[in-house]
A and B are shown apart, each in its own frame.
Chain A
Amino acid sequence: MSAYPDLVSAFATGLVDGDLPPGLTARIPQEAARRFAVYRNNVAISLTDALAKRFPVIERLVGHEFFAAMGRVYLDANRPKSPVLLEWGDTFPEFLADFPPLADYPYMADVARVELARGHAFHAADASPIAPDILMSAASDPENARLGLHPSVQILHLSYPAVSIWAANQTGANGKSATLTGPEIALILRDTGYQVPVVAIRAGDAALIDALQNGRTLLLAAELAAFAQAKHDPQPLLVRLMQAGAITLPKETP
């Protein structure tokens, strides 16, 4: 006889629809439903709180009440599959894009993509920055040199100015409202101080990073960047990446 799996199933279902599982009681049995509601509440609140922790700017933009209600809708269709909640919510940007009450705010999904990428960068694997002398010798031999990038480095091509919106919603932002037009490209990485800045970059920089991540030589990466953006100068980006500790030894090439 396996009564217990049936009971757990009924309990789990009840957490969603509110029906009291069979056998659930209390010292005063009439209070069982009120007490069961504590568990229902804990599950919903703790999970929407976990979501808000990953997407604080979205919560700020829509407000706490709206976010909590929206989080429950998301939760009903996207239950976490793992106890590692720092990995839960990867589908939230797509959910926002299709969430009818936010139809007039199409930039929300892009802002969420920025926050999601920041979370990935924060928890990305560690990798040591390349030694300065190796980087110098690579720079002097661009035809053959390949560089690696830190696992946290990500490029996002955004349809909306989500980098500016994200930045305007950080504490200490200068209060200037973002210009809400046009696409942006975001560069997100984790620096050596474990900060995860978000900056807008141009097409040439994005092409350069994409090429380096795909194992192209420094020379080819620079050519691809110039193709994406006329007269592109790779140096400022490479300096910025180096200062952030985001340039590593290349992955082993076959």
Chain B
Amino acid sequence: MPLTYAAGVGFKPEHFEAIRTTAPALGFFEVHAENYMGAGGLPHAQLAQLRADYALSLHGVGLSIGGADALNADHLARLKILCDRYQPDSFSEHLAWSSHGGDYLNDLLPLPYTEETLTQVCRHVEQVQEQLGRQMLLENPSTYVLFEQSTIPETEFLTEVVRRTGCGLLLDVNNVFVTATNHQTDPLAYLATFPLEAVGELHLGGHSEEDIPSGPLLIDAHGSPVADPVWALYCAVLDLTGPLPTLIEWDNDVPDWPVLMAEAARAQTVLDRIKEVSLERVS
């Protein structure tokens, strides 16, 4: 079963009671896989209960698919155990690296886009899909730097990964905006060349802003509401794709439950409007 074409939120344990008592009408919950890799206890008890009531998206942050090293076999085995146990409706990871030489760096680090990295990323995506026995979604990154080594535009790189591996994509709309702002490129031009037909899920999250001489430097911080230009870009995406499962990500300075729900409700309003427009087009 794919994720429903509705708004979901990233699950935070501090919201569990509010979710249990209000039973919100959400399309799905998403969790970070690495937070559920302990043996037992409260995290698993909560996830099992959420899973019973909602669609589930499992989102990995530690696989280092864009890394130069081989994938961590232990970590892949842990992901397989989680997938077997909770049967998530979607599994996604990032076009980034986070481990090197046996060290885990806990950040989504950038890679140059070359034939060499393309081959490596495809090999890793294939390995994940084979081991987990399912299609995965690969997420576009927020980046702050560029590489002289890059020879392939990001959207072309992702298109080619999809073509070679059969994976789907997770389009993070905030990441599109952050990256475009940071490199002063056009987010709509990015979308025009993005392989939208492969997108299985959208992410919306907040970013923070620093001032540097050439203008604002946006950081993918997930600690604030979704910014207005990102909402506008979200509408532009849905105009092109029709409704898609949409996640509100808010991982730091986690707000009270009603604040997060209001963000999800705003996404749902946009989704409902797009559905109506799509129906009008059909009729």
Contacts and interface: CB of A to CB of B under 8 A. Distances in A.
Interface of A: 1-5, 7-9, 11-12, 15, 23-28, 31-32, 34-36, 38-39, 42-43, 46-47, 50, 79-87, 122-126, 151-152, 190, 194
10 contacts: A4-B116, A7-B68, A11-B100, A38-B210, A47-B106, A81-B102, A82-B104, A83-B62, A87-B38, A152-B41
B147 A125 contact: no
A200 B31 CA distance: 36
A27 B183 contact: yes
B144 A12 contact: no
A43 B45 CA distance: 30
Contacts, number: 150
B101 interface: yes
A143 to B, nearest CB: 33
B39 A83 contact: no
Interface residues of B, number: 56
Chain A interface main SS type: helix
Contact of A85 (B106, B117, B146): B106
B41 A26 contact: no
Nearest to A46: B106
Contacts of A36: 144-145
Contacts of B148: 23-25
A245 B145 CA distance: 53
Interface string B43-57: 111000000000000
Contact of A124 (B41, B100, B214): B41
A36 B42 CA distance: 38
A95 B130 CA distance: 41
Interface of B: 34-35, 37-45, 61-64, 67-69, 72, 74-75, 78, 97-107, 109-112, 114, 116-117, 120, 144-149, 182-184, 210, 212-214, 217, 219
A38 B219 contact: yes
Contact of A84 (B37, B107, B120): B37
Given A12-B103, A79-B104, A83-B62, A34 B146 contact: no
Contact of B40 (A5, A31, A32, A126): A126
Contacts of A38: 144, 210, 217, 219
